[in-house]
Chains A and B, each alone.
Chain A
């Protein structure tokens, strides 16, 4: 297990594609891991205090990581615990393993996730489990759980997997969704635009688009794309 703590205040954001794989390396290698500090390529050890205990495939990020981006990108296994908030693109293209964020998450959480689990104890921002700019498919498997609230754009172009938001969400939940499940325990805004498949369950209030047919299953649509997605109350 590796514990990583910021050494100082960061003048600009850091891009650090830290994955649990790092915990299997020697301390030397970990300290020399290259991160981007703005346009400077810098060693992890220069900006962060690093301590190693045992060989568990686990990273513990202690402190304010809200301006550290790309944590857990493409990770395949192991665990990352962020004892604080985390920056944008956390868990992007994740294939497996587990990320727990005790604080808040920034935009683009779990981009095009294809496995694994992300848990946010605080709030998430916009673009949760979505497809990246110009890509055709979003999340395909895995689970994202947000205990607090989320922003706009949830699970767009989703093709599998599960997103659960215990609090409220914003607009554009499940736009162009094809498969998978989105569950919102609070309230949200616009739901199901151009939905083709999958299921969205909402406990609180929501704004369904005027393009869904009421059936026993729930609201089926979006008729504009001859969709068979289901939106229903939780």
Chain B
């Protein structure tokens, strides 16, 4: 099958070729290929470690969720929009909390969008037009292996016919694999991105004299050189990653970078965009935005949505012991969350919906295995730049989809609540 869409990282490459006999996919990178090859699966639904039917597991899950005073529904970044929508509606019905993976990755970007807006573009615009591309705190060579060849580094387009017509800059705390592919590498002292961006803004707005001889480990000359390159670009793009969102400064780093982009757009064209990790983390934020007004950290205790990352991000909710049950969909908080949060997760009943076993499976009271979107189930996902793609069903399965499982849970919940 052709035009197969990868459901691993935010690049969501859609040029895969699936060999039905060998059950392997061609053209995808090693990360995508791994997703499309045979993997260990959760065999059957389980309650307290015992195999049960889907119906029984769903019944138990609904019971736990309805009895909770504050259920946390978390994950969502690796499932399709159809399932996410049901998750949001379920959280609203249960008057619990909806949060998604972005809260530990790119949420700072969302906070920055709230402060300043998002001057962006789709990946095709970058491929066609960008003569300067900056990777800030992002290492696509390792995390988004085909991003460069499809969209941002060696990708050729309407105006950029040759790699030499594009300058690639890497801004990071250490020379990364991507830095080796770049035309310019600037090393910044960890925790000083914010200061460096402020300095660049000052230089570009005619206040270079105020900037000291060195900012965040970067010499002023280097900053002047970078500023000049940015000013002279015809169409520039900053792609930023967790190096910026999960280090000192977080949302203020991104906000500052956006202000830099606003300034640059007065004389030339620049865009900025986050390098989203999971293939549908964008959907995990867009779906709740249209359903209830916010992208993450949403509390429904009062029967209407309230947004407060400092209080309702999954990690915050767990750290404050502010939830008494959890539904984890397509995610592994037990492996990724800080110890204090995982400690509380171990104390409460956890329901997991996932195709694959992980650390969270070990502490889940109810485990419901599901089909893999993009392989065993069809659904809508949004690429890192928001472009919607319909991932395909290429193999048959007897596993239920996340959508079906959540639909059934919702029905039981509605019945229990009367």
Chain B residues, CB < 8 A from A207 = 195
Task: Decide if A76 is an interface residue (CB 8 Å cutoff).
Answer: no
- Chain B residue with the shortest CB-CB distance to A190: B194
Tell me whether A193 and B252 are in contact (CB under 8 A).
yes
Q: How far is the CA of A39 from the CA of B111 in the complex (A)?
A: 26
A210 in contact with B69 (CB, 8 Å): no
Q: In whole Å, how far is A112's beta carbon from the nearest beta carbon of chain B?
A: 14
- In this complex, which of B195, B300, B309, B324 has the most chain A Cβ atoms within 10 angstroms of its Cβ? B195
Query: A179-234: which have CB < 8 Å to B?
Result: 189-190, 193-194, 207, 209-213, 221-224
**Given the complex, which residues of A lie within 8 Å of B409, measured CB to CB?**
none
Contacts of A222 in B (CB 8 A): 198
Interchain CA distance A36-B70 in the complex, whole Å: 11
- Bound-state Cα–Cα, A209 to B91, Å: 42
- The number of chain B residues touching the other chain, given as a range, is 35 or more
Q: Which residues 30-53 in A have Cβ within 8 Å of B in the complex?
A: 36-40
Q: Tell me the residues in window 87-134 of chain A with beta carbons closer than 8 Å to chain B beta carbons.
A: 88-89, 107-108, 126-127, 133-134
Q: How far is the CB of A233 from chain B (nearest CB, A)?
A: 18
Q: Which residues of A contact B311 (CB under 8 A)?
A: 69, 88-89, 107-108
Q: Are B198 and A224 in contact, with the CB atoms below 8 A?
A: yes
Q: Which stretch (A8-16, A19-27, A55-63, A158-166) binds chain B?
A: A8-16
CB-based contact B69/A133 at 8 Å: no
Report the bound CA distance from A219 to B301 in whole Å: 46
Of A67, A133, A172, A175, the contact of B322 (CB 8 Å cutoff) = A67
Q: Which of A39, A171, A221 contacts B248 (CB 8 A)?
A: A171
B31 at the interface (CB under 8 A from A): no
Shortest CB–CB separation between residue B248 and chain A, in angstroms?
7
Least CB distance, A126 to chain B, in whole angstroms: 7
B249 and A39 contact, CB distance less than 8 A: no
In the bound assembly, the distance between CA atoms of A153 and B172 in angstroms comes to 24
Known interface pairs A36-B302, A190-B249, A209-B198; A221-B210 also in contact (CB < 8 Å): yes
Which of chain B's residues have a CB closer than 8 A to the CB of A37?
69
CB-based contact A11/B324 at 8 Å: yes
Rounded to whole angstroms, the CA-CA distance of A40 and B95 in the bound complex is 9
B256 at interface (Cβ–Cβ under 8 A)? yes
User: Considering only CB atoms, which chain A residue lies closest to B205 in the complex?
Assistant: A224
* Cβ contact of B69, chosen from A38, A89, A209, A221, cutoff 8 A: A38
With A12-B324, A38-B301, A39-B301 as given contacts, are A133 and B307 in contact (CB-CB < 8 Å)? yes
Is the Cβ of B252 less than 8 Å from the Cβ of A12? Answer: no
- Bound state CA distance, A222 and B211, in angstroms? 11
Interface size on A, residues (CB 8 A): 36
Quote the shortest CB–CB distance from B346 to chain A (angstroms): 15
A223 touches B308 (CB 8 A): no
B320, CB-defined interface residue at 8 Å: yes
Bound: A89/B299 CA distance, A: 15
Instruction: Assess the A210–B310 pair: CB atoms within 8 A.
Output: no
B74 to chain A, nearest CB (A): 15
Q: Does B215 contact A (CB under 8 A)?
A: yes
Pair A223/B202 contact, Cβ less than 8 Å? yes
**B323 within 8 A of partner (CB):** yes
B207 interface contact, C-beta 8 A: yes
Residues of A within 8 A of B252 (CB): 171-172, 175, 190, 193
Distance, CA A89 to CA B311, complexed state (A): 9
CA of A213 to CA of B300 in the docked complex: distance in angstroms? 47
Q: Taking the nearest CB of chain B, how far is it from the CB of A33, in angstroms?
A: 16
CA gap between A10 and B234 in the complex, in Å: 58
Please tell me if the beta carbons of B210 and A213 are within 8 angstroms of each other in the complex: yes
Contacts of B322 in A (CB 8 A): 12-13, 38, 67
Interface string of A125-162 (1 = CB under 8 A from B): 01100000110000000000000000000000000000
- Contact present for A224 and B259 (CB under 8 Å): yes
Give CA–CA (A74, B81) in the complex, Å: 39
B94–A210 contact, CB under 8 A?
no
Does residue B68 face the partner (Cβ distance < 8 Å to A)? yes
User: Does the CB pair A133–B301 fall under 8 Å?
Assistant: no
Q: Is the CB of B323 within 8 A of A12?
A: yes
* Contacting residues of chain B (63-78) with chain A, CB-CB under 8 angstroms: 68-70
Determine whether B114 belongs to the interface, using a CB cutoff of 8 Å to chain A.
yes
Contacts of A127 in B (CB 8 A): 310
* In the bound complex, CA of A124 to CA of B51 (Å): 48
Chain A residues in 8 Å Cβ range of B302: 36, 39
**What residue in chain A is nearest B72 (Cβ atoms)?**
A12
Contact of B323 with A210 in the complex, beta carbons under 8 Å: no
A202 to B70, CA, bound (A): 42
Contacts of B259 in A (CB 8 A): 194, 224
Collect the chain A residues with CB atoms within 8 Å of residue B307's CB: 133
Q: Are A210 and B320 in contact (CB under 8 A)?
A: no
B145 → chain A closest CB, angstroms = 33
Is B198 touching A193 in the complex (CB atoms < 8 A)?
A: yes
A-B contact pairs, 25 of them (CB 8 A): A12-B70, A12-B322, A13-B70, A38-B68, A38-B322, A38-B324, A39-B301, A67-B320, A107-B311, A108-B308, A127-B310, A171-B248, A190-B252, A193-B198, A193-B252, A193-B256, A209-B194, A210-B195, A210-B210, A210-B212, A211-B210, A211-B211, A222-B198, A223-B210, A224-B207
B residues engaging A (CB < 8 A)?
68-70, 94-96, 111, 114, 194-195, 198-199, 201-202, 205, 207, 210-212, 215, 248-249, 252, 256, 259, 300-302, 307-311, 320-324
Known: A223-B210, A224-B202. 17 other contacts (CB 8 A): A12-B321, A12-B324, A13-B322, A88-B310, A89-B311, A126-B310, A134-B114, A171-B248, A171-B249, A190-B252, A193-B252, A209-B195, A210-B195, A210-B198, A211-B199, A211-B207, A222-B198
Q: Give the interface of A toward B (CB within 8 A).
A: 11-13, 15, 36-40, 67, 69, 88-89, 107-108, 126-127, 133-134, 171-172, 175, 189-190, 193-194, 207, 209-213, 221-224
